[in-house]
Amino acid sequence: MEVLARLALTLAALMVVGSLLMLGATESGTPERTITLFSLIGGAVAMAASVALIRIGRRRAEPVSNGND
């Protein structure tokens, strides 16, 4: 599952970087700008979800300590 979350993180980062580059190339008030903003927001949400899944997966993989070390 961690591999899928890392793949999603990579794709989300690609979306965010592409959207940020397109923000400079599109004019305000155009449909292209609207699509770019939606892509930027979607990429940011996907990045946050991927990071959360990676952290949850790592936390579950850690061995549980009983305090008697």
Q: Where are the domains of the chain?
A: 2-59
Write out pLDDT tens, residues 11-54.
999 999 999 999 999 999 999 999 999 999 999 999 999 999 88
- Angstrom CA distances, 68 to 25, 26, 44, 64, 65, stand at 60, 61, 42, 11, 8
Contact 11/47 with Cβ under 8 angstroms?
no
* pLDDT score of 4: 86
Taking the CB of residue 58, how many other CB atoms lie within 10 A of it? 11
